[in-house]
Structure 1
């Protein structure tokens, strides 16, 4: 099944997901984002951003537990697996029936409860930035905010091709440098937060994690 309203709600709040990249449909533009031309970094900030890009580009694989805080305050937990370029899997713990998969081309939402799957081109999601072969800020992904405070670095980014979908704020620990969380701000002025825990980098991941299997097929295999 191709993208429907329910899937748009999940994607908008998840990164989405964030994750990532939620449960709200994008119905109105995010004020001001479309008109922002990018944040002008000073020399110190440029050094921080260069260090972050190098760090992200060194990540070939990552696996972590995550906590997702939704706009209504409810939290979901699960396991995130990333294999760059192009692949990730958000596996939510029961009773949440959702799995989010990227296979390099499609962002796929699997609803195990309804036995439905929905597809959106990966390039239309904020996830494309972190899953790209080379992480960079260019004409498609612009840095529109920078904050360095209390040992944390926050980068606010927007997909200039689809600015009305909202923006993502990535938060890094400064030393040692590590991605801690990201916050997806959608067009209805609502935030979804993904916080990583026990992240491991450079481990070998099973390629089957990133393969899409129809929910009905999974059920049949278990019978």
Structure 2
């Protein structure tokens, strides 16, 4: 299904572009995650039950034993304007003070990384990568440390130089966060595009993908000033548990 742009201003004439493919969201936890490709390929496929057999069984059951009809899951109403789309995402981002969950990251070179993300507003965030990756990214509310335990390095940046500062704002307003480039809807996924000129090295392009049905942020995509793209998909999100404060401590005096 082609994305339908929600226009804030009359669009400038542009050359026709092919429709973007629908975003594929990560499963809650794939059964073969981390299993070698050969092992996953050799696993027996699960065959669905015959639809005709299921229908016959249902028909023969007494009426009292028939399961009650399950109402269809109500879908979120699609925003009608770009302003409404931005407000929908703002409302979600401002609805929680803490968040933790799993992420799957794809770098520009195709490398896949996994781990846990922890957020505590304002300003605190941690990306904890699963082995064999030895990198940690920690924000303590003022600075961001990128630490590599294997190489014994630690680089410190101002939080304002990072493209993901929007995740840890105390109060979020996407219309004021960088330059708003537009919004579109593809199926149940709302995409909001931003440009941030304050990031280290130049302008970063950021796309946020929000599930209108689940009412959750599903993915962000960052294209850095050098043109390299990194995407991060989120799942198993929890906004009720408070992360351990130790997750957000940067040891500035530590010699790695």
Classify the TM-score, shorter chain.
0.7 to 0.9
Counterpart check, 1:69 vs 2:106 = yes
What RMSD, in angstroms, separates the aligned Cα atoms of the two structures? 2.3
2:232 to 184, 189, 194: 194
Which TM-score applies when normalising by structure 1?
Answer: 0.74
What's the offset of the Cα at 1:86? 0.2
Per-residue displacement from partner, 1:7-29 (whole Å, max 9, x unpaired)? xxxxxxxxxxxxxxxxxxxxxxx
Q: Alpha carbons of 1:48 and 1:140: their partners in 2 closer, same or farther (altered >3 Å)? A: closer
Larger RCO (alpha carbons 8 Å, 6+ apart) = 1
Counterpart check, 1:40 vs 2:2 = no
- Partner of residue 129, structure 2: 92
What's the offset of the Cα at 1:40? 2.9
Counterpart check, 1:213 vs 2:241 = no
Q: Which has the larger radius of gyration?
A: 2
Gaps of 5+ in 2: 1-6, 11-79
- Partner of residue 181, structure 2: 144
What's the offset of the Cα at 1:176? 2.5
CA distance in structure 2 between the partners assigned to 1:44 and 1:85 by the alignment = 29
3-state SS of paired residue (2:103): strand
Counterpart check, 1:170 vs 2:208 = yes
1:118 to 137, 150, 155: 155
More helix by proportion, 1 or 2? 1
Gaps of 5+ in 1: 1-38, 219-223
In the alignment, is the contact (CA less than 8 A) between 2:86 and 2:174 conserved in 1?
no
What's the offset of the Cα at 1:213? 3.5
Number of residues paired by the alignment?
180
- Partner of residue 66, structure 2: none
Which TM-score applies when normalising by structure 2?
Answer: 0.65
Per-residue displacement from partner, 1:181-217 (whole Å, max 9, x unpaired)? 1001123332111011211112111101101237967
In the alignment, is the contact (CA less than 8 A) between 1:139 and 1:160 conserved in 2?
no
More strand by proportion, 1 or 2? 1
- Partner of residue 5, structure 1: none
